[in-house]
Amino acid sequence: MHAIALDSKYGVPTVAIHTNVFEKVVQSVTRMHGMPEARYTFVPQPVMGKTAEQLRAYVNGKSPISGRPVMQEVIEGLTRAAEGDGIREAKFERSTPRLMAADGEENLQRLFLDNNWTDKLPIVLPTEKRVAEMLAHTSRKPDEVAGHMRSNQFRQHWEFTVEKVAVNAVMAGARPEYFSVILALASSGVSARGSTTSSMAAMVVVNGPIRNEIAMNYGTGAMAPYNHANATIGRAYGLLSQNLQGGSLPGDSYMGSQGNGYAYGTVTFAENEERSPWGPFHVQHGFKPTDSTVSIFTGCRSTAFTLGVREKYWREHVRNMLRGMDAHSAPTFLLDPIAARQYIDRGGFDTKEKLIQWVYENALMLAGEYWDYQLIQNYIYPRATFGEEPYASKLKAAPDEMIRMFKPDEIHVVVVGGETNGYWRIMGCNYQKTVSVDEWR
């Protein structure tokens, strides 16, 4: 992506070197950005962790894609004009038909599966009647643009209408009364099918009156497959993300190395406002208690869990859990109401904000260990070296000095659970935004 900008915008002949697993991604991104003949070559995956000798062998070796010497392709990329004229051959104007060719149910299920339009589970076929029923539950017009989405920052946004969201909602098995929640998720522009190699999933927290209007679960088993609204809203969010952003295909538009089981249904639940000792999440983010909202988090790779908040060593227990998390994904505390009240008893945290402040001050790690994490090297260290705070100050710490792992505004608390016991967990995820559901009714 940067190579395209440097080449086309700044007029500097540029060659990009990628690892071989990104072949299809590179072809797709260069084509979609209007430079199908951008110059690039490939070396084997991975580069990370290799010795200087091994990396030298990559440079002296051949591209695992073309079989030609890597440096020959680099030099040719800088010195030879494009051989073909791929620009003229590329399709710049494309349209997506509204209707598929009529066929039998079995064939259509197969077609949707083969086209990678599903999560590999059977879907509800989006007939005109079913889509119309979904559309009847919003005041928005079917052809209104509902939003834009992309699988990562190097790809271009795709556009979609309210009707396109309805099609995906039907496919997920959602009931029409859930549609405003699903539209709010779609309008967020946040994808539940990010293509990152780190294998993300999304988490959705619903607040306000809509929770009870559509009988969402925020009690026992709220995060598990025991509630129709929770299950199908989450599934719809995943399906609409992959279909409305231009796909989510492994090796092409999805690069999650291991994948993430949370992505099957997206972690979707309502906050247990009724049993929480604190204010609701959406009120912390500027909404009124009577507003209905969806809040979106992304990541969901790392979790830590325990039972209760013990009187003697609760501080140590929580510090241990925090240090065991991915240092790059901030912690969101998901507390059963029993655990939430124990936090008040143990620490006097009568607001979420006080608990967040305590977590901020106690999520500590040795500076040497912190800066050595590969994710910190990739995403935080560059920002620190160019003066961005608070990272620049952290970088001044001695290797054996304890530094704070997270910023306070990255730490969140949500109350969920049915009080069958005081279990709670920390989900490593980044808060993205809170969106009004009411605007999509």
Partner 1 sequence: MADEVQGSQKISVLNPVGYPPKITPKPMAPRLESLDGKTLYLVDPRFDDSGLFLSQVQNWFADHMPSVKTNLVEMSSVYTKDDPKTWEMIKANGDGAIIGVGH
Considering only residues 380 through 399, tell me which ones interact with partner 1, judged by CB under 8 A. Answer: 381-383, 385-386, 388
Tell the smallest beta-carbon distance from residue 173 to partner 1 (Å): 13
Among 66, 78, 348, 409, which residue interacts with partner 1 (rule: CB under 8 A)? 78
Q: Which stretch binds partner 1 (CB under 8 A): 300-308, 320-328, 362-370, 379-387?
A: 379-387
Among 32, 113, 344, 364, which residue interacts with partner 1 (rule: CB under 8 A)? 32
Among 63, 74, 194, 276, which residue interacts with partner 1 (rule: CB under 8 A)? 74
Tell the smallest beta-carbon distance from residue 159 to partner 1 (Å): 5
Tell the smallest beta-carbon distance from residue 381 to partner 1 (Å): 7
Read off the DSSP letter of residue 12.
-
Among 257, 320, 374, 393, which residue interacts with partner 1 (rule: CB under 8 A)? 374
Q: Describe the crossing of helices 162-171 and 179-187 by its angle, rounded to 10 degrees.
A: 120
For the record, the structure tokens of 37 come out as 């003949």
Residue 96: phi and psi, rounded to 5, are -105, 120
Binding residues among 190-249 for partner 1 as defined by CB under 8 A: 239, 243-246
CA distance 14 to 319: 47
Of 108 and 344, CB closest to partner 1: 108
CA distance 379 to 158: 26
Of 154 and 358, CB closest to partner 1: 154
Decide if 355 contacts 343 (C-beta within 8 A). yes
Kindly state whether residue 24 participates in binding partner 1, applying the rule CB under 8 A: no
For the record, the structure tokens of 150 come out as 């992309």
* 3-state secondary structure at position 144: coil
Place of tokens 């988490």: 203
What is the residue-wise DSSP string for 255-301? --SS--GGGTT-EEEE--TTT-SS--HHHHTT--TT--EEEEEEEEE
Tell the smallest beta-carbon distance from residue 184 to partner 1 (Å): 17
For the record, the structure tokens of 191 come out as 């994808």
Of 259 and 382, CB closest to partner 1: 382
Kindly state whether residue 93 participates in binding partner 1, applying the rule CB under 8 A: yes
Binding residues among 344-363 for partner 1 as defined by CB under 8 A: none
Kindly state whether residue 112 participates in binding partner 1, applying the rule CB under 8 A: yes
| Interface characters, 244-283, with partner 1 (x: CB under 8 A) | xxx-------------------------------------
Of 313 and 379, CB closest to partner 1: 379
Binding residues among 131-150 for partner 1 as defined by CB under 8 A: 131, 149
Kindly state whether residue 159 participates in binding partner 1, applying the rule CB under 8 A: yes
Kindly state whether residue 66 participates in binding partner 1, applying the rule CB under 8 A: no
Residues touching partner 1, count (CB under 8 A) = 100
CA distance 67 to 41: 10
Of 185 and 334, CB closest to partner 1: 185
Residues whose CB falls within 8 Å of the CB of residue 342, separated by 6 or more in sequence, listed in order: 308, 309, 422
CA distance 241 to 187: 11
Tell the smallest beta-carbon distance from residue 82 to partner 1 (Å): 6
CB pairs under 8 A, 24+ apart, for 3-10?
3/38, 3/39, 3/40, 4/30, 4/33, 4/35, 4/38, 7/35, 7/38, 7/39, 8/34, 8/35
Tell the smallest beta-carbon distance from residue 227 to partner 1 (Å): 24
